[in-house]
Amino acid sequence: MNITYLTGIVAVALSGIGHNFGIEIIPVIMFILYHVLQNIRRPLAVSFISDHIPDVSMTTGLSVESQMKTFFIIIISPIIGFLADNFGLAYSFMGVAGIMSGAYIFAKMRE
């Protein structure tokens, strides 16, 4: 799961770099890759949670995971908008990649 997260960071950063240099096919390919990675990551996350949480509290654990993801989106969306408005879309992508890199400390899976 950590590899999919890190690959997602690289995909977002490359989207910004590609857009910055006017190579618009790179962001398109990277967004497709990013969404494929998200769809791979979700079942892995559910499996990880189900392996580490007792059956009695499984619903609560999955709910908390979903709420944390939503909370992260609520926090990061205005930041993305601010960066895009003030510095351009390419730099907002790279800023998101930076934020995701910092969040990796908390998001990485430990076995």
Q: Where are the domains of the chain?
A: 2-107
Burial 76-98 (b: 16+ CB within 10 A, else e): eeeebeebbeeeebbebbbbbbe
**How far, CA to CA in Å, does 78 sit from each of 23, 28, 75?**
26, 22, 7
Q: Which residue has the higher pLDDT, 44 or 97?
A: 97
Residue 17 has pLDDT above 90, yes or no: yes
Confidence of residue 111 (pLDDT cuts 50, 70, 90): low
Q: Which residue has the higher pLDDT, 49 or 101?
A: 101
Query: What whole-number percentage of the chain has pLDDT above 90?
Result: 45
Residue 1 has pLDDT above 80, yes or no: no
Q: What is the pTM assigned to this prediction?
A: 0.79
